[in-house]
Structure formats: C-alpha cells, structure tokens
C-alpha cells in the first residue's frame, strides 16, 4: 500500500510526534488528514492549515467512532505519557491509555479501516536485558519473556498483542513500531514530561542565562541510550505503515551514547562547560538500551539520516529561542 489520496486520522496529533507526523503526511502525498487530541487546540504543540482538527477524549468509545468516521487509515499515537520522570511516577495513569487503544481498535474494525498504525515503545523490552551500560542492542524478539517497564511498558506490550489478535481474528491490517527516544524541535522541554535531550538542553540554557554554571544529571551519567531525530521517525512511520511488516519492529537510531556524552554534545553546542552533580535517587530508567536495526534494514533499507550532533543542534536552537522569548529577551 502506498499512501496517496487516502483519508487519514492521526490520534495524538496535538503531541510532539503527532504534530510532526501530520505535516510529514501532507508533504508526502496524503489526501486529507483529520488531527485528533484531548488537549484544547491552543495547547497543541503545533497545528497545520488545511487539516480537520478535533478535540476528543479517545478514552471514550464514542469519541473513537467519531474520530474514525469516513477515514481509511489510522495512526494511533495517543497516550498519556512523558519522560522517565513522568512514567515512573504515574504508572496507573499510563496503564489507562489501554482504554484509548482498545476503543480505537474496536472503532477501526467496525469502520472498515484499511491500515492501522500503532506507536509502541522500547519500554516493552525485557528489563533483564538492559541492566548494563555496555548493552547489546535489542532485537525485536527480546520483548519476551515479558518483563517490560512497569506501567507504561506493560500497557504498550499488551496493546501490541491486541493489534496482533485484531489482525488475526478480524483482518484489521495492523503495523506496530517500537519507538526509541524521539527528540527534536516543538517538543516538551519543561514541566515534568520532557525527555532527556530536551531536559538537558533546557538545563544548559538555564545555566547560561543565570550564570550559574552547574547541572544536575539524573543517575550516574553512565546510562546508555540512542536517540532518533523526529524527521527520521516520521519517515519511518510512513514506510512501516505502507509495508507488509506484520510484526512489531524497532524504529530508532543505533548510535549509542552515555548521558554524560549527551551532555558533552549540548555543552559544545552551547559553548559552555558546566560543573556536574549526579542525583542517584532520581528516575533514570534502565542502565542501557539500544536499537538493533537489522530487521528494518532488511525490510525497508531504513536507517536514520540525521546524526545526533546535528539533531541536537536544531533542538537546542529551538528551545533556546522559546526560552529567550519567555524571558523577554
């Protein structure tokens, strides 16, 4: 399937990835987009001209039927989530996102949706395989035996299974991508839901503006991660939706860095060096996580095109401009 003139609904379109995905789809041949989010329109990360924007709570079944009415393709990105600080402290809230996925799948089945994309997460992977900083990249099979991130990861893994069984039992064509740490401009950078790249940029800018050249890092700084720039993510999402990949697949960069190295990169962009302190009691997630991209390379020839250094520079510039605006500078 190639997306051409299909009518597409993006759920979670008021969020960071969803907002970028709407723009990407319109730029790549999609005929009509309906954008749906629970937040009031003025709280959406971005809105796009020529799009039908609906404010709906997709935990409610009737809202899911409204969202899918007249549509052919669903991109289901809606979830209550944030960075590690949020998901470690809001496990029940994260689990309640299962209502969105359950009702969206039912609506998609009943509306005769042609393709259904679900955004899963690297948090589904077995925690016992992520105890060392010097991590072996995670293959898709490493989600089982199941020991995902408590709360958020369990909900994602459960929904993956639902997608599988809706395909087996009802013929709903489902595609599932496991996102690995997506970052970029127009994302959350303060308030408790932000992820590491944006949080580090914000902390560096705060240090620069205040003249207090110190930074607190969550954990010991040796935790390893990979980070995928938003443009690579949206390109991968469309390619996976259009593909014949019927099992969950990794969508992430395999460029592994420590959190300390991520701080090094942002310091270089900002042109300052900071004194580091390490908060070992703060939420820090697993010790090591990286994406094994063997399968997506075999299936699609997909790999990230934007290096971490370059993506972080673009992200830093956007956050700095927002913070300077807010400070009246």
Give me the active site residues, please.
Answer: 152
Distance between CA atoms of residues 56 and 236, nearest Å: 26
Q: Would you give the DSSP letter of residue 135?
A: P
Distance between CA atoms of residues 329 and 317, nearest Å: 14
Q: Distances in Å between the alpha carbon of 122 and those of 60, 85, 217, 267?
A: 27, 16, 22, 27
Q: How many residues does the chain have?
A: 329
Q: How many CB atoms lie within 10 A of CB 252?
A: 28
Q: Distances in Å between the alpha carbon of 227 and those of 139, 169, 204?
A: 16, 35, 18
Joined together, the tokens standing for residue 11 give: 């759920």
Joined together, the tokens standing for residue 99 give: 């209502």
Whether the upstream peptide bond of residue 145 has omega within 30° of 0, thus cis, is yes
Return all residues near 118 (Cβ < 8 A) that are at least 6 apart.
Answer: 76, 101, 159, 160, 163, 174, 175, 176, 177
| SS3 of 291-328 | ECCHHHHHHHCCCCCCCHHHHHHHHHHHHHHHHHHHCC
Contacts 24+ apart (CB under 8 A), 188-194: 188/16, 188/45, 188/82, 189/319, 189/322, 192/82, 192/83, 192/85, 192/86, 193/81, 193/82, 193/83, 193/85, 193/86, 194/82, 194/83
Q: How many CB atoms lie within 10 A of CB 197?
A: 27
Residue position matching structure tokens 């620069």:
208
């Amino acid at each position: 399937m190639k997306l051409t003139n299909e009518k597409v609904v993006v759920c979670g379109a008021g969020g960071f990835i969803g907002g970028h995905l709407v723009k990407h789809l319109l730029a790549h041949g999609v005929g009509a987009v309906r954008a749906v989010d629970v937040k009031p329109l003025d709280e959406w990360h971005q809105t796009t001209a020529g799009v039908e924007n609906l404010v709906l709570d997709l935990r409610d079944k009737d809202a899911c039927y409204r969202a899918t009415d007249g549509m052919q393709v669903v991109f289901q990105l809606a979830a209550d989530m944030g960075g590690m600080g949020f998901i470690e402290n809001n496990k029940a809230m994260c689990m309640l996102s299962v209502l969105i996925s359950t009702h969206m799948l039912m609506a998609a089945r009943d509306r005769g949706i042609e393709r259904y994309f679900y955004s899963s997460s690297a948090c589904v992977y077995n925690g016992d395989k992520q105890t060392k900083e010097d991590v072996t990249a995670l293959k898709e099979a490493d989600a089982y035996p199941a020991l995902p991130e408590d709360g958020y990861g369990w909900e994602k893994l459960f929904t993956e299974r639902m997608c599988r069984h809706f395909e087996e039992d009802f013929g709903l064509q489902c595609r599932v991508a496991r996102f690995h740490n997506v970052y970029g401009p127009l994302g959350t950078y303060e308030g408790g839901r932000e992820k590491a790249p944006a949080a580090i940029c914000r902390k560096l800018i705060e240090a620069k503006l205040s003249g207090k050249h110190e930074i607190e890092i969550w954990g010991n700084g040796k935790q390893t991660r990979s980070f995928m720039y938003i443009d690579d993510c949206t390109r991968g999402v469309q390619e996976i939706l259009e593909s014949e990949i019927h099992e969950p697949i990794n969508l992430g960069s395999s460029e592994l860095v420590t959190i300390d190295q991520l701080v090094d990169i942002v310091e270089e962009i900002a042109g300052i060096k900071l004194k580091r302190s390490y908060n070992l009691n703060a939420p820090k997630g697993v010790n090591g996580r990286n994406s094994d991209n063997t399968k997506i390379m075999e299936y699609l020839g997909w790999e990230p095109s934007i290096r971490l250094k370059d993506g972080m520079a673009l992200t830093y510039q956007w956050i700095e401009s927002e913070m300077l605006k807010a400070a009246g500078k």
